[in-house]
Amino acid sequence: MYKSDDIPEEHIQLYCKKYIHYDFILWYCAVPKELTFRESDVIVEKYMAESLFMKEWLSPINAYYGLVINTAGYNYSYCNICLYRSREEGDFSDRDLAILKIINSHLCNRFKELFPNGIQRSSFDKNSDQFSSIYHLTKREAEVIQLICSGTLRHNLAKELYISENTVKKHLNSIYQKMNIQNFEELVKVVKPGVKYFG
């Protein structure tokens, strides 16, 4: 999804339909890696200025110099943020780049915390449970979390769910992996902050 506060919607649609294929920087930020860079640092200005993308898509909106933030983590790309300046305003400074690298580092950490398994449509489903949508839990895993949130102790989970202890262990191990935690105590800390675990 592409969004801008100052580029007209029809111009964004034009990018999606035609000019995305001519975008000289897209290949560089396609990898799921934390990156913050000036476009002028990765492409020679002569080639940038002569490109179809610059001439037909960027120039009409008075954009010339770009700075790109690629927010990623756990081998997932979360988003790209592209900032542009006109030729008259000049390129982004080293200070601009340094500040945005710090901001992107914080963004990467936050996105990794919120979406350790990548962003999927279910991540934004308002009707689904918070943990289910963030960590992409199965229905049964969500039931386990719901019971823990309601105060059910670990040794009572099998009885409450009418399943064996081994099946509970399998569900819990899957939850730990998805939530990037090690044990039941950590799980309780995540789903019930401030509550002390007593087994």
With a cut of 80, say whether residue 60 has pLDDT above it: yes
User: What is the pLDDT at residue 199?
Assistant: 46
Using CA atoms, how far apart are residues 8 and 59, in angstroms rounded to an integer? 14
With a cut of 90, say whether residue 90 has pLDDT above it: yes
- Cα dihedral 35→39→43→49 (10° resolution): 160
With a cut of 90, say whether residue 122 has pLDDT above it: no
**Range with the poorest average pLDDT among 27-36, 55-64, 93-102:** 27-36
Given strand 76-85, what is the order of strands in its sheet? 35-38, 65-73, 76-85
With a cut of 90, say whether residue 170 has pLDDT above it: yes
Higher pLDDT, 198 or 97: 97
Mean pLDDT calculated for residue range 31-36? 92
User: What is the pLDDT at residue 128?
Assistant: 41
With a cut of 90, say whether residue 142 has pLDDT above it: no
pLDDT level of residue 58 (50, 70, 90 thresholds): very high
With a cut of 80, say whether residue 44 has pLDDT above it: yes
> Where are any strands of DSSP class E within the chain?
35-38, 65-73, 76-85
User: What is the pLDDT at residue 193?
Assistant: 63
Mean pLDDT calculated for residue range 18-24? 89
pLDDT level of residue 126 (50, 70, 90 thresholds): very low
Report the first-to-last Cα separation within the chain, whole angstroms: 45
User: Which of 165, 180, 184, 166 has the alpha carbon at shortest distance from 117?
Assistant: 180
- Cα dihedral 54→58→64→70 (10° resolution): -100
